[in-house]
Amino acid sequence: GIWAPTLRFHDETFWLVTTLVDDDRSADDASRWDNIIFKSINPYEDSSWSNATHFEFVGYDTEPFWDKDGKTYINGAHAWKIGPWLQQAEANLDTGEVGEWRTIWNGTGGMAPEGPHIYLKDGLYYLLAAEGNGSTFMRGTGVGHMVTIARSENVGGPYESNPANPILTNANTTSYFQTVGHADLFQDDSGNWWGVALSTRSGPEWVYFPMGRETVLTAVTWRDGEWPQMSPIQGKMSGWPMPPANLHIEGSGHWVMSGEVAADSVEFEAGSALPAHFTHWRYPVESSYTVSPPERSNSLRLMPSKLNLTARNGNYAGPGGQTFVGRRQQDTLFTYGVTIDFSPTLEEEEAGISVFLTQNHHLDLSLVLLPANRTARALPGYNLTTGDDSEKLELHLRFRGESYSPVPDEITAPVPEEWVASPVRLEVKAANLTHYSFSAGPANAASRMKTLVYASNDALSWGFTGVFVGVYCTSNGGLGSTPAYISDWTYIPQGQYRD
């Protein structure tokens, strides 16, 4: 996937430099790192963006820098297994040609110096970097993550480390916001300096953080000739004056706002499109998603993919795609739900909701057609009766999870007969800091919702990013082609923890 894009504005053009990483290849395999450049004169217009221009660099976290003499450079980092090198090469951003790569700084001794950004200020070149310590799955970006800085009279160094390094970190603190690092600096229209960085809402235990690494904003004081000073990251902060809110921005779609937090209430009306903040996993097959189809207005029709959410091996999918669309979890506490109208005819046809991080990490609640003898339990308040024919196909509710961490055992329960003839409501709720609850019930009777299971979110607290909540439809490798119709999509924020 894409790692750490850097966006810069130069000569009336937006430049985006990033790395497409094949994480299955070794760090010293040049084909692991596909470094690419895009440009646009209007970043809000899809057709304005150029095709990718590729350049050679066996590393990542690449960024462009334009010097005062007109020369252009790219700065980048190497994997911690290779060496603690921040490197630089002269470059032509239009063609992708790069010169010789030279090491300009090795950081302050922390593991995996990366994320280099250079700024020319007051006649000096300032080099910002991220460093850290080791972790189980994120080298350098764990609870020891920090922001360091050095400066030089020349763009190529030598760079002198700031004696006050690190200039931003929450390492060795009890702060709820941890893993602070990988920063960038910018000025607003009033000339005030700000910093952005990555952080997780995890506390120092760093176990429960399903929203992954979030972007945090902090005020920066940067006096002439001095080192920048970044305000510490806390749950509540003050900074430079903010511009007034502006709700008069041109564009399609609706505002995703409810007070101070993001909310959804999507009815999939005729003539509408999927909201801009909805996201697919991998390239979508467009025909698998139809808003308000003729046979079922005010719904989203999902056509099943052969692959389910885990797919072949947890890492790859084929050209047939995976039918899934979701939105980010943006709140510590929330309730997400949809109504599903689904009448499968073949075994293992399935449609449901998922709290989804990656193909290797997801928790799912679905409607699925299974033989009666696959029933494992009854819903709360119902008796377990399967009839005489154990091979008879029956509609079931199924919960199952996939993770490197322990997940609850799979649950399969027959859908009560009185529910089968009408749509079913599926919901997931972040009940507290550590657990999700998964519930189901008839769509026309909210009081009859039944909670099937509570699942720890540590199963989804992995890697760089945060989870989606969304819907999926699959034949699980079979020949099924039954569509699922999704309606009454709601995401309701119910609390945001800051400390």
pLDDT in tens, 149-172: 999 999 999 999 999 999 999 999
| 221 and 129 within one domain | yes
| 269 and 220 within one domain | no
How confident is the model over 171-201, as pLDDT tens digits? 999 999 999 999 999 999 999 999 999 999 9
Question: What is the residue-averaged pLDDT of the chain?
Answer: 92
pTM of the predicted model, to two decimals? 0.92
Any domain includes 235: no
CA distances 463 to 130, 173, 206, 280, Å, are 17, 22, 12, 19
How confident is the model over 49-68, as pLDDT tens digits? 999 999 999 999 999 999 99
| 278 and 224 within one domain | no
C-alpha torsion 233→234→238→244, nearest 10: 90
Any domain includes 255: no
Any domain includes 246: no
Structural domain count, the chain = 2
Q: Find out whether 235 and 176 touch, Cβ atoms under 8 Å.
A: yes
Q: What is the mean pLDDT of residues 419-437?
A: 95
| Domain edge (last residue) among 185, 213, 230 | 230
* Residue 260 banded pLDDT, cuts 50, 70, 90: very low
| 224 and 271 within one domain | no
H or E element, residue 198: strand 193-201
């050209």: which residue's tokens? 319
The pLDDT of residue 135 is above 60: no
**In this predicted structure, what is the pLDDT of residue 136?**
44
The pLDDT of residue 293 is above 50: yes
Query: What CATH number is associated with residue 290?
Result: 2.60.120.200
Any domain includes 147: yes
The pLDDT of residue 386 is above 90: no
| 157 and 292 within one domain | no
């090491």: which residue's tokens? 103
**In this predicted structure, what is the pLDDT of residue 373?**
82
The pLDDT of residue 231 is above 70: yes
CA distances 99 to 55, 91, 93, Å, are 10, 6, 12
| Domain edge (last residue) among 175, 206, 230 | 230
Q: Could you list the residue range(s) of the whole structural domain that residue 110 is in?
A: 2-230
Q: In what order do the strands lie in the sheet with 361-371?
A: 279-280, 324-328, 468-474, 350-358, 361-371, 393-402, 411-414
| 417 and 285 within one domain | yes
| 163 and 279 within one domain | no
Query: What CATH number is associated with residue 136?
Result: 2.115.10.20
| 269 and 226 within one domain | no
How confident is the model over 440-468, as pLDDT tens digits? 999 999 889 999 999 999 999 998 899 99
**In this predicted structure, what is the pLDDT of residue 388?**
46
Any domain includes 249: no
